[in-house]
Structure 1
């Protein structure tokens, strides 16, 4: 079935988003890069937002990977790069990891004795409202949640009621995983165009089909780590890959030095010796497009 879906995607056929919700990958032993780069040929009535959702990508990923392409009126017949290859954020790889600059969530499980990761794009907080980095816990789950509008948001928009019931006007969507600090939640949305954008007041938004698939998998008590890693380094089949996203909060004064430090940590964790091509590293960092690029090798 997976082969059939992949073949249809490569042929550029339009599949319902529900078939592609919440990507699942087996994590190979000693590897931290997975997935593959795909391509999609645009029809005459598709926007890049349509393509992003069909492949379970965020707006940021599809736009970064296809610079210069009009996201609203892309030319029919154009071949769009689909960045479905990923480098794992730095661990520990347990529970849920939320990487803010990447605008992506990872959920780690063991299934049948095999380590797997589920991943989905997210919408995050606007400037000044980014989710605080740190460790949280899923302390409550709710299907068809009510939105109890915070006073701070009602001050911004006095027309909002104190409580918004379940339904199409509820920005929490149909499912919510409530976190243990800061009034944050991982939830759905009634505005799917906001996935891969900075649109929330600090909560983490998923496509409706992604949160629907994630909700039953995540038990209460699951740890959630919120990270800030615009650059990620990983290993696949003896090669070293760098995946770089824009430093949206400008927190990395020297991204090259950060990559070198990550390489040292990766060596300690894996026992491998890594050789980096620093010229290639700088080239990738100059144009952070979210596509994993080979920058070295394992010796």
Structure 2
């Protein structure tokens, strides 16, 4: 292939009288690009197969050959960071951070590079390097100031956490870094951050969810695409695949999006999909136990009164004229998971906030989307968990948009960049 390219350039130069040195330089650049592309795709393929050492070898060769393509560079830096972390190459991981923490790669990849380096140094007790890392990377874990100052009933929401000003298009939020100040589980962190367990877990695939040590960092995915392109203000949207609720509203003449994590029905008792209206609202509801649930657990009474042991928590809203409710919970866990018998479960604090602002008759749209797209000046995708048919559908759709996305890269995104909006162009 190299000979073919060089021969073509030489024939062209003789035929048209171009400067041969210039053409040779251009030919060699073409050869270099083609060669680096080979190492790039091979690194992705090997990484996806779990062959991290071989993936590192090809990724490092790519860096030597091509540092100009920022998008490819971004993916290879993340690939190397994860590989060094999993193979416990702390020297290489630390040096990779020093080389790229202030580079032109995406802020999200720089944050993940910081997190993997930080966590490996904590695990290894390398306090000297940890001090250097945090000093150089301190700009990455500073939270942006959220200029939202709402009064009245909306003052109970937390800017940048569960309420966002919608500046343009369908994208909200900014990803951040959380530091554990003591040993924690991901379930505890999720509740502290008003997040769901699963959405934190898929965004942190290489963190032990039940053994997060003091000083370790967690990636917090808050940059999201709304579930519907042509959404309506005043309609509640729930995407079961991401286990999250969105409520776009006009407040004081400005567009906002309120969003909360939710627990949904188990695989054998799925939550409903479709359009509903809130037909009933109850404070401190009693739970009339369905016959099907009493058959599973005959010890349950026919009615559970309001109180701390009531599974419906402190508020409940009925979806249409069904048995399905949008409600709080008495459980310590389950938000952001498949745990219910079909109802939509929320933290008590969140369901009260929603209850206070949602009126009877409000439309609720429930969908199940494993991925979401959005396009403005750039094309974005947000992935939760892709089935084989989803992958083919995405590649085919993007091909129609003249966007080339290889199966290797899509699989890499499905492993390492799930749960938040990422740009494809």
Normalised-by-shorter TM-score class: 0.7 to 0.9
| Pair 1:143 & 2:283 matched | yes
Name the SS for the 1:193 alignment partner.
coil
Query: How many Å apart are 1:277 and its aligned residue?
Result: 4.0
| Pair 1:253 & 2:392 matched | no
Name the SS for the 1:176 alignment partner.
strand
CA deviations on 1:163-222 (whole Å, 9 max, x unpaired) are 001111100000011111431111101114100111000000011111111111100000
CA deviations on 1:247-274 (whole Å, 9 max, x unpaired) are 5xx5x7233424654897xxxxxxxxx6
| Pair 1:49 & 2:187 matched | yes
> Hey, what does 1:285 align to over in structure 2?
414
The more displaced of 161-170 and 285-294 is 285-294
Query: How many Å apart are 1:68 and its aligned residue?
Result: 2.5
Query: How many Å apart are 1:162 and its aligned residue?
Result: 0.6
CA separation of 1:19 and 1:233: change in aligned 2, threshold 3 A: same
Task: Give TM-score, length-normalised by structure 1.
Answer: 0.82
Q: 1:28 aligns with which of 157, 161, 167?
A: 167
| Pair 1:75 & 2:210 matched | no
Task: Verify the 8 A CA contact 1:284 1:293 in the aligned structure 2.
Answer: no
CA separation of 1:262 and 1:104: change in aligned 2, threshold 3 A: farther
CA deviations on 1:84-113 (whole Å, 9 max, x unpaired) are 111111244231111001000011211122
Query: How many Å apart are 1:286 and its aligned residue?
Result: 5.1
Name the SS for the 2:249 alignment partner.
strand
> Hey, what does 2:175 align to over in structure 1?
37
| Pair 1:89 & 2:89 matched | no
Query: How many Å apart are 1:295 and its aligned residue?
Result: 1.1
| Pair 1:104 & 2:244 matched | yes
CA distance in structure 2 between the aligned counterparts of 1:51 and 1:59, rounded to whole angstroms: 8
Task: Verify the 8 A CA contact 2:248 2:256 in the aligned structure 1.
Answer: yes
CA distance in structure 1 between the aligned counterparts of 2:423 and 2:173, rounded to whole angstroms: 14
> Hey, what does 1:243 align to over in structure 2?
382
CA separation of 1:153 and 1:92: change in aligned 2, threshold 3 A: farther
Name the SS for the 2:385 alignment partner.
coil
CA separation of 1:289 and 1:254: change in aligned 2, threshold 3 A: closer
CA distance in structure 2 between the aligned counterparts of 1:69 and 1:282, rounded to whole angstroms: 19
CA distance in structure 2 between the aligned counterparts of 1:181 and 1:130, rounded to whole angstroms: 17
Name the SS for the 1:80 alignment partner.
strand
Larger Rg belongs to = 2
Structure 2, unmatched stretches of 5+, are 1-137, 144-155
CA distance in structure 1 between the aligned counterparts of 2:259 and 2:345, rounded to whole angstroms: 13
Task: Verify the 8 A CA contact 1:242 1:281 in the aligned structure 2.
Answer: no
Task: Give TM-score, length-normalised by structure 2.
Answer: 0.59
> Hey, what does 1:234 align to over in structure 2?
374
CA separation of 1:119 and 1:262: change in aligned 2, threshold 3 A: farther
Query: How many Å apart are 1:132 and its aligned residue?
Result: 2.0
Query: How many Å apart are 1:275 and its aligned residue?
Result: 5.3
Structure with the greater relative contact order (CA < 8 A, sep ≥ 6): 1 or 2?
1
Q: Which has a greater percent of helix?
A: 2
Matches within 5 A, 1:254-269: 254-258=390-394, 261=397
CA distance in structure 2 between the aligned counterparts of 1:192 and 1:101, rounded to whole angstroms: 22
CA separation of 1:203 and 1:77: change in aligned 2, threshold 3 A: same
Structure 1, unmatched stretches of 5+, are 1-6, 13-17, 265-273
Query: How many Å apart are 1:228 and its aligned residue?
Result: 0.7
CA distance in structure 2 between the aligned counterparts of 1:160 and 1:77, rounded to whole angstroms: 43
Q: Root-mean-square deviation (CA), in Å?
A: 2.5
Task: Verify the 8 A CA contact 2:380 2:423 in the aligned structure 1.
Answer: yes
| Pair 1:204 & 2:340 matched | no
Q: Which has a greater percent of strand?
A: 1
Task: Verify the 8 A CA contact 2:283 2:316 in the aligned structure 1.
Answer: yes
